[in-house]
Amino acid sequence: GAVVSQHPSRVICKSGTSVKIECRSLDFQATTMFWYRQFPKQSLMLMATSNEGSKATYEQGVEKDKFLINHASLTLSTLTVTSAHPEDSSFYICSADGTRQETQYFGPGTRLLVL
């Protein structure tokens, strides 16, 4: 299957700071990228969908000013958690979809801990 990477794999930050997470499709061009969040013992929840060169579409209840998404190229999307708080601590996972792919492929996830 196609390869999607995320960086960093884990990050610890202080409350009030911002954290940027990168998602890259390594061997295909991703026309659409998705960002999910997963709390302990729960399933993945879709946060937003981003298409290269356009604004992201956020799911209901997800604050677009808090979770900034940039999809500047066909291989890179970034999620910035602004003014992070302890309740933002979670496992953030991206996925990518390309016109030649039959499905979405997921990154390994980024574990965020806000102190």
Partner 1 sequence: DAKTTQPPSMDCAEGRAANLPCNHSTISGNEYVYWYRQIHSQGPQYIIHGLKNNETNEMASLIITEDRKSSTLILPHATLRDTAVYYCIVRFGGSQGNLIFGKGTKLSVKP
17, 73, 83, 103: which one binds partner 1 (CB under 8 A): 103
Could you say whether residue 82 binds partner 1 (CB under 8 A)?
Answer: no
Could you say whether residue 54 binds partner 1 (CB under 8 A)?
Answer: no
Residue 115: which H helix or E strand, with range? Answer: none
19, 21, 28, 32: which one binds partner 1 (CB under 8 A): 32
Could you say whether residue 11 binds partner 1 (CB under 8 A)?
Answer: no
CA pair distance 113, 115, nearest whole angstrom? 6
45, 68, 74, 76: which one binds partner 1 (CB under 8 A): 45
Query: DSSP labels for 25-84?
Result: ESSS--SEEEEEEE-TTS--EEEEEEETTS--EEPTT--TTTEEEEEEETTEEEEEE-S-
By the criterion CB under 8 A, which residues form the site for partner 1? 1, 4, 6, 31-32, 34, 36, 43-46, 49, 91, 93, 95, 97-99, 101-109, 111
